[in-house]
Structure 1
Amino acid sequence: MPTGLSLHIGLNKVDPARYDGWDGRLLACENDARDMAELARRAGFGDTTLMTPDGTVDNVTAELRKAAARLTDGDIFLFTYSGHGGQVPDRTGPDDEPDDFDETLVLFDRQFLDDELHEELRRFDEGVRILALLDCCHSGSAVESVQGVISPMAMEAHFQTSDPQQLEAASRLMPVVRQQQIYDRDQGFFDELQRTLKNRDGQKPGPGVVLISACQDNQLASDGPVNGAFTETLLRVWDRGAFRGGHRAFHRTIQGRMPATQSPNFYTTGAPAAGFLRQRPFTV
């Protein structure tokens, strides 16, 4: 019988000592992690949660490597993250990131590059099924830039405000000014990390990964009083296991219940098997 393992990360704030005084306070991310861990347990997964102070790069990496060492062909890994999203400039060349930025998960002690996450996922056996659900802003775009794409009326309807400072508080976007400050401070570290990861790219074929994320690159992911907007909708669509479609249908149903200002994205890396894509989500 296949084995299912899951890792759920929820950060309601970050370490201000590592982010130049910014604590990134949010409301619902720990609830998201707890609720996704409960969903995973009900579906037959073993679950691990890392809440706010434990959501460090070392802890996340260690848990990913534990799962990779245990799971083999035919097993499944579920990875969920709720917290801030950010970006850092990609200095490794135009063929790596078309938008010249690496997206990041804003972990408790530092930003975790998407390339780092991909590197860890490549440690898994090629036959392991991986589903990643990310409830965060991926674009790292300035609120002003987002307002150029989404009308003030739409912003008002989705976030009940169009004021940039209030939008930062209501969404899971790491403030762009803060992103730039942190990058300027740590540029040497990130540049070297990107070069190292790029040199390793493609050395080992990785498993197929299905990613369903909270929003498109030019949108913001909304926080909430109980759950993030994406996680709340996902849980309603799942309906304690009543949902019976495959991964693409799951994404489309969630997307259909979200406002136009936050449209969840469906993305794959590697080559997920057609059977996995058709499979009901969270099937061990």
Structure 2
Amino acid sequence: MAQGYSLNIGLNSVDPAHYAGWDGALLACEADAEDMELIARAQDFGTVRKVLTREATRERIVKELDEAAQVLQPGDLFLLTYSGHGGQLPDRNNDEVDAQDETWVLYDGELIDDEIYVALSKLRQDVRVLMFSDSCHSGTVSRMAYAALRNSGSLEMLADTVQDTEAAERRFKDMPVGIALRTYRNNRAMYDAVMDALPKQDARSMVKATVLLISGCQDNQLSSDGTFNGLFTANLLRVYNGGKFRGSHRTFHRRIVRRMPPLQTPNYSVIGYPNSAFERQTPFTV
């Protein structure tokens, strides 16, 4: 019988000692992780892990991903969720068209997207992975997106979900460009060693499981924090409606997108082994 395994990560801050004095303060990321944990428990997942802020170190998350790979069997469902800042580092294995690797900004250091996919490549074929990333993937457009939000009137749409327009204006889940540059320069030896150890080919091509990723925004957009949940997670929860939603993953994605402002469009992608039956299933179904 298939089993559910859930790893839910949420960071409301990071360690300034690593990030050039920046604490990356957010409000709702821990709540996002807690709400995803509640869904997993309501669906009777056999293993449910929640890792918040100070506990969400590079070592801990890599260890959690490796443990999931050891446990999960073909047919099992791995719910992997992240809520926090997104960052970028220079692409050293030339697998990114924009020459930037996206990262999860963990408490004591960034986890590179290639590292995540290498960890997922350890999963057995026919494992189903439902992955949500409520984070930004580019710090270079933060001022542009902020101005566009103000000029388009989309802040009114944000306020309907986030409850606090002023807070929504201030808190995007991107790492400021200056902080990103200083963080890399201050820790260059560490990051270069990590990136040089990664496979030369695209790590996504190594994934044998089916990874269905719904992210909080496109690579060139920003995800918004909120008071009670991040904007993406808030709308995900509204569409899911306590388990009353019964459609497919694609329908789930489309309905979330309908609720989002035009400058934050959640992305839908499938990595690894194609599994159309999985895509047709209702989200969180073990």
For the criterion TM > 0.5, the same-fold answer is yes
Structure 1: which 5+ residue stretches go unaligned?
A: 161-165
* SS of corresponding position for 2:180: helix
2:133 paired residue number: 134
* SS of corresponding position for 1:111: strand
2:268 paired residue number: 266
Give the Å deviation of 1:153.
3.0
2:74 paired residue number: 73
C-alpha separation in 2, matches of 1:72 and 1:156: 44
Residue 229 of structure 1: which of 224, 231, 245 is its match? 231
Query: CA RMSD of the aligned region, Å?
Result: 2.2
Give the Å deviation of 1:196.
1.6
C-alpha separation in 1, matches of 2:72 and 2:169: 38
TM value normalised by structure 2: 0.90
* 1:129 and 1:272 in contact (8 A); partners too: no
In structure 2, relative to structure 1, the CA distance for the partners of 1:112 and 1:271 (3 Å cut) is same
2:35 paired residue number: 35
* 1:142 and 1:175 in contact (8 A); partners too: no
* 2:121 and 2:207 in contact (8 A); partners too: yes
- Give the partner amino acid of 1:215: C
Question: Aligned pair 1:26/2:31, yes or no?
Answer: no
* 2:155 and 2:169 in contact (8 A); partners too: no
* SS of corresponding position for 1:198: coil
C-alpha separation in 2, matches of 1:32 and 1:68: 24
In structure 2, relative to structure 1, the CA distance for the partners of 1:154 and 1:267 (3 Å cut) is farther
* 1:210 and 1:272 in contact (8 A); partners too: no
Give the Å deviation of 1:198.
2.4
Structure 2 matches for 1:1-284, cutoff 5 A?
Answer: 1-45=1-45, 46-93=47-94, 96-146=95-145, 152-154=151-153, 156-157=155-156, 169-199=170-200, 205-284=207-286
In structure 2, relative to structure 1, the CA distance for the partners of 1:42 and 1:159 (3 Å cut) is closer
* 1:143 and 1:167 in contact (8 A); partners too: no
* 2:207 and 2:271 in contact (8 A); partners too: no
In structure 2, relative to structure 1, the CA distance for the partners of 1:184 and 1:155 (3 Å cut) is farther
TM value normalised by structure 1: 0.91
In structure 2, relative to structure 1, the CA distance for the partners of 1:220 and 1:109 (3 Å cut) is same
* SS of corresponding position for 2:200: helix
How many residues in Structure 1 have an aligned counterpart in Structure 2? Answer: 278
C-alpha separation in 2, matches of 1:223 and 1:158: 14
Give the Å deviation of 1:25.
0.5
- Give the partner amino acid of 2:30: E
Q: Among the aligned pairs, what percent are the same residue?
A: 45
Greater CA deviation, 265-274 or 122-131? Answer: 265-274
* 1:105 and 1:114 in contact (8 A); partners too: yes
* 1:159 and 1:170 in contact (8 A); partners too: no
In structure 2, relative to structure 1, the CA distance for the partners of 1:29 and 1:113 (3 Å cut) is same
In structure 2, relative to structure 1, the CA distance for the partners of 1:205 and 1:230 (3 Å cut) is closer
- Give the partner amino acid of 2:190: F
Structure 2: which 5+ residue stretches go unaligned?
A: 160-166
